[in-house]
Chain A
Amino acid sequence: MIRKLVVPKELGEGIEVRLLQWYKAEGDLVGVDEAILEFETDKAIVLVGAKQAGLLRKCFYGAGDWMQTGDVVGWLSDELDEPLPAERDAQAEVLLVSFDAT
């Protein structure tokens, strides 16, 4: 199953964020609560991981790119050979949670 990683809407509507860094590359296995990426809001640097383990299959944005809350930043899948869909936004969502950046 393909699942989408979404910039958390809890940050607020219309909030823009800047992607600082991926901690995983396409093809990497991502464990529950493992850091996947880091982005910056106008106020804070936010380190996030997924509430669901999976393989990172697709990164839609790179370091330095701008995104808005609700944007799909990447895809996770259960199997490495699962075919990727055409639609970026059509899949079930994985909850991204923030860690304290230490």
Chain B
Amino acid sequence: MSRLFFREALCRAMAEEMERDSRVILMGQDIAAHGGSYAETRGLFERFGPARVRNTPVAEAVTVGLAAGAAAAGLRPLAFITYLDFLMLGLDALVNYAAKLRFKSAGQLTSPMVVKATAGAKGQGPTHAQSLEPWLMNVPGLTVLAPSTAGDAYGMLKTALRAPGPVVFIDHKKLFPRGGSVPDTEELVPVGSAAIRREGKHLTIVAHSYMSVLALEAATALAAEGIEAEVIDLRSLAPIDWETLTTSARRTGHALFVEEGQVVCGVGAELAFGLRERLSSLRVARLGAKRAPVAPSPVLESFIVPDAKDIEQSARDLLLANVKNGTHRTGKEET
């Protein structure tokens, strides 16, 4: 294992896959000579040249549309969307064309493209901070992956670049300043496999992306109080690893779903309901952002978006059966 920055893990995955498969091309804003908005493509332009590492204009609809077309024509494009918020402009090409191409063409055409987009709140205000993963989970034909560690970023981006259909690969601004262990030899993370990050017997905390990092912090603090939380990092949002979730929740009897985005029709809504269909006596709770846009003020941002303390409190509330109706809880207590 080597310790790498998150961006270096992504870069290594791209370089290896570009070396392995000449159909893999990169397209996005500032990814060529500049080396990427998060420095994640540093060195790739010099190594693979302008035909395979292409700058695009600030026009996400065009970028995703071109990627969908290039994929249908036989390439394996990776399109970069610097802020997940702006994937909205490319949703038509992604949802109506790429995700449905195999179905519409009776399997004659496929669209093996990857959209890499960066989600999450980090001081940049309401339209550069959203976590819109549930919108994408809802679309049949889309695979949605969201790593929380450098090692998974490496293994999951490689998997995405070999997938038969369109994949949305979602990372998070707060993951980039972190380092993590990356295997020295090639290791792929299969689609649909969640990871148990910490074992525990009292409740299951389910999170993805940066919230997995915070859930682990919360679990450490809860352990000091005698509460043993099992932390599951979803990694794959579509498809969901129901087996891992069900096995854990059956054992603990309590499941807390944590996400950075809105709880209304959110990841937790889907998972909580899906698990209750499988385990009818399961006690569940959700934690997500308050019902407001993410504010640019750091004070308001941290008020709106859940932190480790909120996760701890939601876990205590769930175990104390303080959650009204056993299903609903939005963000920090509104006062």
A residues near B, CB below 8 A? 12, 14-16, 18, 40-43, 66
Chain A residues within 8 Å of B176, by CB: 42-43
Q: A42-B38, A42-B39, A43-B39 are in contact. Are A12 and B177 (CB under 8 A)?
A: yes
Chain A residues within 8 Å of B38, by CB: 42-43
* Interface members, chain B 1-41 (any A CB < 8 Å): 3, 5-7, 38-39
Of A14, A15, A42, chain B has the most CB atoms within 10 Å of the CB of: A42
Q: A15-B177, A42-B38, A42-B178 are in contact. List 15 more A-B contacts (CB 8 A).
A: A12-B177, A16-B5, A16-B177, A16-B178, A18-B3, A18-B5, A18-B179, A41-B177, A42-B5, A42-B6, A42-B7, A42-B176, A42-B177, A43-B39, A43-B176
Of A16, A40, A41, A66, chain B has the most CB atoms within 10 Å of the CB of: A16
Chain B residues within 8 Å of A43, by CB: 38-39, 176-177
Q: A42-B38, A42-B39 are in contact. Are A66 and B3 (CB under 8 A)?
A: yes
Give min CB distance, B213 to chain A, whole Å: 9
CA distance A66 to B39 in the complex (A): 19
B residues near A, CB below 8 A? 3, 5-7, 38-39, 176-179
Give min CB distance, B30 to chain A, whole Å: 13
Chain A residues within 8 Å of B7, by CB: 42
CA distance A83 to B213 in the complex (A): 41
CA distance A12 to B179 in the complex (A): 15
6 A-B pairs within 8 Å (CB atoms) are namely A15-B177, A16-B5, A42-B5, A42-B177, A43-B176, A43-B177
Nearest to A64 among chain B residues (CB) is B3
Of B38, B176, B179, chain A has the most CB atoms within 10 Å of the CB of: B179
CA distance A42 to B174 in the complex (A): 11
Give min CB distance, A26 to chain B, whole Å: 25
CA distance A42 to B178 in the complex (A): 8
Chain A residues within 8 Å of B179, by CB: 16, 18, 66
CA distance A49 to B313 in the complex (A): 43
Give min CB distance, B173 to chain A, whole Å: 10
Nearest to A44 among chain B residues (CB) is B39
Chain A residues within 8 Å of B177, by CB: 12, 14-16, 41-43
Chain B residues within 8 Å of A12, by CB: 177
CA distance A41 to B176 in the complex (A): 10
Give min CB distance, A25 to chain B, whole Å: 24
Chain A residues within 8 Å of B3, by CB: 18, 66
CA distance A15 to B179 in the complex (A): 9
Chain A residues within 8 Å of B178, by CB: 14, 16, 42
CA distance A69 to B3 in the complex (A): 17
Nearest to B5 among chain A residues (CB) is A42
CA distance A41 to B5 in the complex (A): 8
Nearest to B4 among chain A residues (CB) is A18
Give min CB distance, B215 to chain A, whole Å: 15
Of B3, B6, B7, B38, chain A has the most CB atoms within 10 Å of the CB of: B3
Give min CB distance, B302 to chain A, whole Å: 12
Chain B residues within 8 Å of A66, by CB: 3, 179
Chain B residues within 8 Å of A41, by CB: 177
CA distance A66 to B4 in the complex (A): 9
Nearest to A43 among chain B residues (CB) is B39
Give min CB distance, A60 to chain B, whole Å: 17
Among all A-B residue pairs, the 10 with the closest Cβ atoms = A16-B179, A42-B177, A15-B177, A42-B176, A42-B5, A66-B179, A66-B3, A16-B178, A42-B7, A43-B39
Nearest to A12 among chain B residues (CB) is B177
CA distance A83 to B244 in the complex (A): 56
CA distance A42 to B38 in the complex (A): 8
Of B3, B38, B176, B177, chain A has the most CB atoms within 10 Å of the CB of: B177
CA distance A40 to B177 in the complex (A): 10
Nearest to A65 among chain B residues (CB) is B3
Give min CB distance, B221 to chain A, whole Å: 15
